[in-house]
Amino acid sequence: IKASIPEPQRAAWEKYAVKSFEGQEGFEREVVRHVETTLARSLFNCDEKAAYAATSLAFRDRLITDWNKTQQQHTYRDAKRVYYLSLEFLMGRALDNAMLNVGLKDTAKAGLADLGFRIEDIITQENDAALGNGGLGRLAACFLDSLASLDYPAWGYGLRYRYGIFKQEIIDGYQVEVPDYWLDFNPWEFPRHDVTVDIQFYGNVQKSADANGKTISVWDGGEVVQAVAYDVPIPGYATPTTNNLRLWSSKASGGEFDFQKFNNGDYESSVADQQRAETISAVLYPNDNLERGKELRLKQQYFWVAASLYDIVRRFKKSKRAWSEFPEQVAIQLNDTHPTLAIVELQRILIDVEGLDWDQAWAIVTNTFGYTNHTVLPEALEKWPVSLLQNLLPRHLQIIFDINLFFLQQVEKKFPDDRDMLRRVSIVEESQPKMIRMAYLAIVGSHKVNGVAELHSDLIQTTIFKDFVAIYGPDKFTNVTNGVTPRRWLHQANPRLSELIASKCGGNEFLTDLTNLSKLEQFVGDKDFRKEWAEIKYANKVRLAKHIKSTLGVTVNPAALFDIQVKRIHEYKRQQMNIFGVIHRYLTLKKMSPEERKKQLPRVSIFGGKAAPGYWMAKQIIHLINSVGSVVNNDADIGDLLKVIFLEDYNVSKAEIICPASDISEHISTAGTEASGTSNMKFVLNGGLIIGTCDGANIEITREVGENNIFLFGNLSEDVEDLRHAHTYGSHTIDSDLDAVFKEIEKGTFGTPHDFGALVAAVRQHGDYYLVSDDFHSYIETHRLVDEAYRNQDEWVSKCITAVARMGFFSSDRCINEYAESIWNVEPLPIKE
Ligand code: GPQ
């Protein structure tokens, strides 16, 4: 690396090389320097925002040093890299994470105190980087943390949205969306105005001949938009490895054409071009588990994929290796089907630009890509109209047709005379209008396809991708159960529990090897330990109670059982069943005599989550929760026995306060619909138990923690189809407790009954697709068991400790190691000092 600096200058560069600050004194000096110079403020008007800015800049400088070293060594040592392509990275805040990962949080705390600030007040100044919707985006963020912490050479590629997921306000019980302009001050990104890629859209394809007379396709005309790279350093925990997240931003490519317009006095149209180009990366689509087929979304996908591939190919070409070595140097993982066009784009680059034959190129492509599926819900499976692709990406559509042709020929050989098979698996759906099935394209263009929990991976192989298992054999399909990073979701979110665990498990090793948690199990019988454990849970509940008081003005009793369901609002996740259950509890309490009531266990039912702006039913659910809350919370008969809370604007930084504060959390999707879930893991890791269905990763959590330490209920996924069929074609009887809930809603107890008519009708009249009625009785019964178990606090705390001790499997480190071994074939590359 040093050899890249010419001999005469090398000594000077080495002499003046930047040294990272050390110790509290060094940190304070850097903070003051940034306040006085970078921020041009005096110490007399340094408010918390400025202190946050200066602290971040001090840590950023530190990260850059490690980041440069990491990137130089990765380039020099020329190892295989992983590229994680994701339209969403739900990163949350960076400062706290950076301080913990470089091991200097205590130093910063002392330094800030010396300068007159409390570290908590500084950390909370930061806007969340909320470039994602929910689990899929957060998974990508946990993966980046693990990749860096495990020293894998890896890059993330995404879009730099100007607006992340909207901020949610609740006004009169309804969700209102407010734009999230998060970039007013973002010290964590580095604009690389020198790293740009021109991206082409529209235009035409011409056949012509190359110098050797070979026919080639030339895609020209149309419009060009420029992609500009913004880099975000991703520090690993307790390692110098600092990987890169590259986010692309769109702008008009200021070619001659624009200048001409400008000079001709056509100023307005030149500005309009500018704005149209910038629109591409302007806003994150706010849908979770739903695809709506908008042209701008397709433009986002191609823009991001084409820029990323250009970058990846450019980097590969610097090594001067043969093309056949590409898959030995490059592994690209597709986070759902959103980046599937990358398969087509790489094939296009190899055949149209680099002049490889089809077969040689296709072997490279398929050995490079892996595809992760995150849902079986039909409404979430991406399909693009052929006409849209024809217009926007004419050359890509031709290549897709060719991929499909060769694929179907292969299928025909294996299944002669099975025309129905060809129709079923064709990448081109022969519908009106014709559609491209992106999941099928992703399967055909990848060497491995994985689901995200065992049940989900089984389901994709036996239902939506069954034919592909018959065609390719079972080895192409695999499972990698999701995980979460214990750094953010235990150490950062729950510092006291983390410290207690460290004191029992021989230090912080559990943060890099989570299976060390198993050492906790020997302390389950230790009374003092249980007491300390319970005190920490109580303190975390107090912290959440304070948040509830300050944001909603409602007082909740931290000694009550905290029952939490926070996640995107979706019918399949069944927040409606939860609120129906709360109403049932309310009615039961109302019927009791005051003496009887005194014997009941107080409960706080806490909800949180965003509804997609266009998802009307989800918005009805939010409205019902809030309406029930305003009745129950003001009912003098009930007092502390039941409170219903809807937390506004659930996001990553709020999850860090919420997850440590649950006694029980709800993961109650209709069996077979939740691919994995990841908050289930976060809640158990923080010493809360779960009430859940046999769905997603709940099943593996049960296997690990033991059936006695989880509350499972409800129908199994193998029975869902028959139950649905019975609703439509047989007689559908509604559970009597649920019926009483509906009657209460219809009486107007929670406001105009008409407002909630659709929620009731979905169960009573419209087939109850999500099986709320079928599962309601066992749901209520299981909640009764939860109450009963909670009364015996000694046993409850023992269950919680046992569960945490057995959660080692659910680290995203384990998950990333599985991807590295079974899909990417990459090795860690620790940075040398
Ligand atoms: N997931 Cl398809 C999302 O968050 N958004 C999506 O659009 C799709 C999936 C989730 C899925 O619902 C969860 O069960 C998973 O745990 C999560 O992806 C990560 O795999």
Q: What mean pLDDT do residues 255-271 have? A: 71
Ligand 1 contact via 609 beta carbon (within 6 Å): no
3-state secondary structure of 680: helix
Dist. CA 137 → ligand 1 center (Å): 8
Give, using CA atoms, the residue closest to atom 7 of ligand 1: 289
Predicted confidence band of residue 44 (pLDDT cuts 50, 70, 90): confident
pLDDT per position as a tens digit, 193-206? 999 999 999 999 99
pLDDT per position as a tens digit, 648-696? 999 999 999 999 999 999 999 999 999 999 999 999 999 999 999 999 9
Residue 354: how many CA atoms within 13 Å on its side-chain side? 19
Helix, strand, coil percentages for the chain (3-state, nearest 5): 55, 15, 30
Q: What number does the ligand 1 atom closest to the CA of 456 have?
A: 14
State the Cα–Cα distance between residues 656 and 558, nearest whole angstrom: 18
Residue 654, amino acid: K
Ligand 1 contact via 135 beta carbon (within 6 Å): yes
State the Cα–Cα distance between residues 148 and 84, nearest whole angstrom: 13
Residue pair 677/451 in contact by the 8 Å Cβ criterion: no
Per-residue pLDDT, 271: 84
- The overall average pLDDT reported for the chain is 96
Kindly provide the ipTM of the predicted complex, given to two decimals: 0.99
pLDDT per position as a tens digit, 376-428? 999 999 999 999 999 999 999 999 999 999 999 999 999 999 999 999 999 99
Q: Residue 524, class by beta-carbon neighbours within 10 Å (0-12 exposed, 13-18 middle, 19+ buried)?
A: middle
Residue pair 610/168 in contact by the 8 Å Cβ criterion: yes
Dist. CA 452 → ligand 1 center (Å): 9
State the Cα–Cα distance between residues 362 and 318, nearest whole angstrom: 22
Per-residue pLDDT, 3: 63
3-state secondary structure of 108: helix
Dist. CA 566 → ligand 1 center (Å): 14
Quote the percentage of the chain above a pLDDT of 90: 93
Residue of 34, 80, 682, 783 marked catalytic: 682
Ligand 1 contact via 139 beta carbon (within 6 Å): yes
Q: What mean pLDDT do residues 356-373 have? A: 98
> What is the per-residue DSSP string for 324-348?
GGHHHHEEEEEESSTTTHHHHHHHH
Active site residue 74: no
Per-residue pLDDT, 2: 59
Give, using CA atoms, the residue closest to atom 9 of ligand 1: 374
Dist. CA 678 → ligand 1 center (Å): 9
pTM over 0.90: yes
DSSP at 601: P
Q: What mean pLDDT do residues 623-630 have? A: 98
Ligand 1 contact via 692 beta carbon (within 6 Å): no
Per-residue pLDDT, 259: 64
Is a pLDDT exceeding 90 seen at residue 42?
no
Q: What mean pLDDT do residues 763-770 have? A: 96
Residue 228: how many CA atoms within 13 Å on its side-chain side? 17
State the Cα–Cα distance between residues 790 and 799, nearest whole angstrom: 10
Report the interhelical angle of 757-764 vs 616-632 (nearest 10°): 110
State the Cα–Cα distance between residues 781 and 801, nearest whole angstrom: 24
pLDDT per position as a tens digit, 692-744? 999 999 999 999 999 999 999 999 999 999 999 999 998 888 999 999 999 99
Using only C-alpha atoms, the chain has a radius of gyration, in whole angstroms, of: 28
State the Cα–Cα distance between residues 771 and 573, nearest whole angstrom: 11
Retrieve residue 534's tokens: 């319970």
Active site residue 682: yes
Ligand 1 contact via 484 beta carbon (within 6 Å): no
Retrieve residue 187's tokens: 């010290």
State the Cα–Cα distance between residues 175 and 187, nearest whole angstrom: 31
Predicted confidence band of residue 507 (pLDDT cuts 50, 70, 90): very high
**Four-CA torsion 435, 436, 438, 440, nearest 10 degrees:** 110
Give the position of tokens 């809350």: 629
Dist. CA 595 → ligand 1 center (Å): 46
Retrieve residue 23's tokens: 């110790």
State the Cα–Cα distance between residues 507 and 519, nearest whole angstrom: 11
Predicted confidence band of residue 265 (pLDDT cuts 50, 70, 90): confident
State the Cα–Cα distance between residues 656 and 279, nearest whole angstrom: 32
Active site residue 678: yes
Predicted confidence band of residue 758 (pLDDT cuts 50, 70, 90): very high
Per-residue pLDDT, 1: 54
Ligand 1 contact via 375 beta carbon (within 6 Å): yes
State the Cα–Cα distance between residues 378 and 464, nearest whole angstrom: 9
Q: What number does the ligand 1 atom closest to the CA of 336 have?
A: 2
3-state secondary structure of 182: coil
Residue of 60, 81, 246, 374 marked catalytic: 374
Residue 416, amino acid: P
Predicted confidence band of residue 255 (pLDDT cuts 50, 70, 90): low
State the Cα–Cα distance between residues 616 and 654, nearest whole angstrom: 25
Alpha helix positions (H), 599-644: 616-632
Dist. CA 824 → ligand 1 center (Å): 21
Per-residue pLDDT, 296: 98
Report whether the peptide linkage leading into residue 433 is cis, meaning its omega lies within 30 degrees of zero.
yes
Residue of 55, 678, 702, 782 marked catalytic: 678
Per-residue pLDDT, 400: 99
Ligand 1 contact via 66 beta carbon (within 6 Å): no
End-to-end CA distance of the chain: 13
Dist. CA 371 → ligand 1 center (Å): 14
Q: Which of 90-99, 246-255, 496-505, 564-573 has the lowest mean pLDDT?
A: 246-255
Residue of 395, 448, 567, 667 marked catalytic: 567
Ligand 1 contact via 696 beta carbon (within 6 Å): yes
Nearest to 139 by CA among 748, 812, 646, 804: 812
Nearest to 769 by CA among 803, 727, 730: 727
3-state secondary structure of 168: strand
Per-residue pLDDT, 19: 87
Pairing of strands 129-131, 89-92: antiparallel
- Spatial neighbors of 442 by CB under 8 A, at least 6 apart, are 334, 337, 340, 343, 369, 371, 449
Give, using CA atoms, the residue closest to atom 19 of ligand 1: 136
Residue spans of beta strands (DSSP E) within 700-766: 711-712
pLDDT per position as a tens digit, 49-78? 999 999 999 999 999 999 999 999 999 999
Active site residue 573: yes
Cα–Cα separations (whole angstroms), residue 683 to 663, 664, 666, 713, 781: 9, 8, 10, 18, 22
Retrieve residue 762's tokens: 């979905």
Ligand 1 contact via 677 beta carbon (within 6 Å): yes
- By most ligand atoms within 8 Å of CB, the mutation choice from 84, 86, 165, 288 for ligand 1 is 288
